[in-house]
Amino acid sequence: MAEAERIIGTPDTPDAAGDGRERPGSGDTGARAGESGSEPTGPAAGASGTGEPEAAAGPAPRGRRRIAVLFAVALFAYALDLISKLIVVAKLEHHPPIEIIGDWLRFEAIRNAGAAFGFGEAFTVIFTMIAAAVIVVIARLARKLYSLPWAIALGLLLGGALGNLTDRIFRAPGVFEGAVVDFIAPKHFAVFNLADSAIVCGGILIVLLSFKGLDPDGTVHKD
196 catalytically annotated: yes
* 176 φ/ψ sector (left φ>0, alpha ψ -120 to 50, else beta): left
Closest CA to 121 of 177, 186, 184, 203: 177
Catalytic residue chosen out of the listed positions 12, 81, 103, 182: 182
Measure the CA angle with vertex 194, ends 188 and 198; round to 5°: 105
103 catalytically annotated: no
* Residues in a beta bridge with 198: none
Q: Which amino acid is at 61?
A: P
CB 109 within 8 A of CB 92: yes
Residues 6+ apart with CB under 8 A from 190: 117, 118, 119
Catalytic residue chosen out of the listed positions 196, 215, 217, 223: 196
Residues marked as catalytic: 182, 196
